[in-house]
Copies of this chain bind each other. A is one copy, B any other.
């Protein structure tokens, strides 16, 4: 399901050959089609799936190695790595994960992370924000309020809102987490498309966060952001349930709740 990607383009080029191979292999690993055993034998895959040279294949493997999905041992073979080695927070891994196996536990984990990180980020933003930060966050909020729910521009604005808050923290390490948060948020928004009520109701929450940050009230900003994330999780889980119950299309793959 070729979803539109509103966030910054993923680092590895998907219309390049090695990118496609990497994605294929990544999905195979993430879904568990290959466990901790060897990956699909080099030549075998080359011959069957798509005719691809060893160069492209190796570069794809290098990408996956860099992201912790596989481990290439000098001579014994290239094996799928155990899940705890994966860089789950890497934007690419995350998007592959959504595509391959968006089970409920995983969603809960990600939202739990959001629940820990975003309130803290909001607090920090409230303490450190410059007027430029405010302008950015406010512009994003306007974009959310003015646009039609779940329109492309609106979603983009929502993502920008959260990203701007991270940016206002002036913390590179935290900033790095924002890409994971954004990816989670984006996925959940695409899932919720149609639930206009949820979107409308979230607007005041966003505004309240904005106001708290303007007031430099860290505690308030943190508390309001925490509420926002929790609401977001609830509506997302509701949509997830709906989709599992009704849809039979591609998105219904989501029912893997292993």
Chain A residues close to B by CB (< 8 Å): 8, 11-13, 16, 18, 55, 58-59, 62-63, 65-68, 71-72, 74, 81, 83-90, 92, 106, 109-110, 112-113, 116-117, 120, 124, 171-177, 180
Contacts and interface: CB of A to CB of B under 8 A. Distances in A.
Contact of A62 (B62, B173, B176): B62
Contacts of A13: 72, 74
16 contacts: A8-B85, A11-B66, A11-B68, A11-B81, A12-B65, A62-B62, A66-B66, A83-B172, A84-B175, A87-B87, A89-B173, A112-B174, A113-B177, A117-B117, A173-B180, A177-B177
A112 to B, nearest CB: 6
A41 to B, nearest CB: 20
A109 B12 contact: no
A113 B174 contact: yes
A180 B66 CA distance: 15
A72 B120 CA distance: 34
A194 to B, nearest CB: 26
Given A11-B71, A66-B92, 17 more contacts: A11-B81, A12-B65, A12-B66, A63-B65, A83-B172, A84-B175, A87-B87, A87-B89, A89-B173, A89-B176, A109-B172, A110-B173, A112-B171, A113-B174, A113-B177, A116-B116, A116-B174
Nearest to A70: B11
Q: How many copies does the complex hold?
A: 2
A8 to B, nearest CB: 8
Contacts of A63: 62-63, 65-66
Residue among A62, A71, A90 with the highest chain B CB neighbour number at 10 A: A62
A11 B90 contact: no
A252 to B, nearest CB: 23
A183 to B, nearest CB: 11
A89 B90 CA distance: 9
A185 to B, nearest CB: 14
B88 A173 contact: yes
Contacts of A58: 59
